[in-house]
Amino acid sequence: MESVVKRYVKNPVLTPDDVPYPVATVHNAGVVRHNGIYIMLFRSHLHNGRSIVGMAKSKDGFAFEVEPKPFLVPAQHGIFAEYEEFGVEDLRICPLEEDSPNYLLTYSAYSRHGVRIAIARTRDFEYVERIAFISQADMRNVVIFPEKFNGRYVRLDRPHSEISPWSIWVSYSPDLIHWGDSKVIIKPLQYHWDEMKVGPGSTPFKTAHGWINIYHGVFNTMAGAIYRLGVALHDLSDPSLVIGVSDQWILQPEDPWERTGYVPNVVFTCGSVPEEDGTVKIYWGAADTVMCAGTARIDDLVDLCLNKSRQAV
């Protein structure tokens, strides 16, 4: 069978050698197209094991050039400094429709108090305004839908739990700061490729059939965890309604740089860019070490969710 995601022939698209300051990895990048330029905000481990976020730009979405200075490093003052002390990771970019250009950035902030999610805003990818922390500890992987629904922002999130397997939840907010009305909408499926945990991946994008949510799922083996990508379709007017979750994964570690590296057997997405020709560019961190890209036909993703789906919860 032809694979759903076609890898770019010159993967990886970004490696630590492409970065003009010392880093050990480049991975888990949020990506958008802003004024016709692809902006990639990638995570890098520094040589002390803590993470920062760098920026790369591209005209075609494949050939990226890294900016001389990092884009986001842990804050130096105030509440953000306290909770970002150990690093900032896995940033997602939400191109808000309202008041465009208006990008929300959500990222994991690590500190001695645990991991929680911060939200920030930029209009030009030069000036970044941190807004708030939008979770307590034990939350990673938040993506925000680009539209409001009945006057509220909607996000997919992934609280950690020792009781239930780590699942995808939905939450709502009137102001981007206060979130609630949470409920679980996609759970790992037992004895399935995502049975250990699932979590939001790239920012959902709209199709005629619903919102496409490309997520990650994890399976544990005797040789360690395998991170793969899956896809779900959410209702256009109420994204808490899951229309379908593809039974099969759409991407798994296969290339040598996906199978070995800082953490072996990982493909992990934080960004995808839908194109006008009916394809979507998908970006993933490979083995937590390099960035890769590929394309999929949006109709193929929709078809998997509509016609080859598994139960959601």
Query: What is the contact surface with ligand BMA in residues (CB under 6 A)?
Result: 28, 89-90, 227, 263, 266, 268, 285, 288
Strands (E) in 96-223, as ranges, are: 103-111, 114-122, 128-133, 139-144, 153-159, 168-173, 180-186, 197-200, 205-207, 210-221
CB nearer to ligand BMA: pick between 174 and 224: 224
CB nearer to ligand BMA: pick between 258 and 300: 258
Q: Name the minimum Å distance from CB 273 to ligand BMA.
A: 20
What is the C-alpha to C-alpha distance for residues 146 and 239, in angstroms, rounded to an integer? 12
CA angle 234/235/237 to nearest 5° reads 135
Q: Name the minimum Å distance from CB 235 to ligand BMA.
A: 28
Q: Name the minimum Å distance from CB 90 to ligand BMA.
A: 5
CB nearer to ligand BMA: pick between 28 and 240: 28
Three-state DSSP class for residue 277? coil
Q: Residue 68: is the preceding peptide bond cis (ω within 30°)? A: no
CB nearer to ligand BMA: pick between 44 and 246: 44
CB nearer to ligand BMA: pick between 153 and 283: 283
Q: Name the minimum Å distance from CB 199 to ligand BMA.
A: 8
Distances from the Cα of 238 to the Cα of 82, 210, 282, angstroms: 36, 9, 24
Q: Name the minimum Å distance from CB 288 to ligand BMA.
A: 5
CA angle 65/204/51 to nearest 5° reads 45
